[in-house]
Amino acid sequence: MINFDQVLNDPLMPNSIHPHYDTGDGIHANITGQQALADYISLPARLAR
């Protein structure tokens, strides 16, 4: 299991997406957020699936 919350989490508002990663709706990650999630997953984990 991968905890994406720790990647996108806003430290000032723990139940929200960090504004840098938010599309503006408070729910979905923008392109930068999606890239941050992709970068967070290690290559060996991606190859193991």
2-49 pLDDT, tens per residue? 889 999 999 999 899 999 999 999 999 999 999 999 999 876 666 666
Which structural domain range is residue 9 located in? 5-47
List all residues 6 or more positions away from 29 whose beta carbon is below 8 Å from its beta carbon. Answer: 8, 17, 21, 22, 23, 36, 37
Question: Residue 37 to residues 8, 10, 11, 49: CA-CA distances in angstroms?
Answer: 8, 14, 17, 17
pLDDT at res. 23: 97
Say if CB 41 and CB 7 are below 8 A apart.
no
pTM recorded for the entire structure: 0.77
Task: Give the number of domains in the chain.
Answer: 1
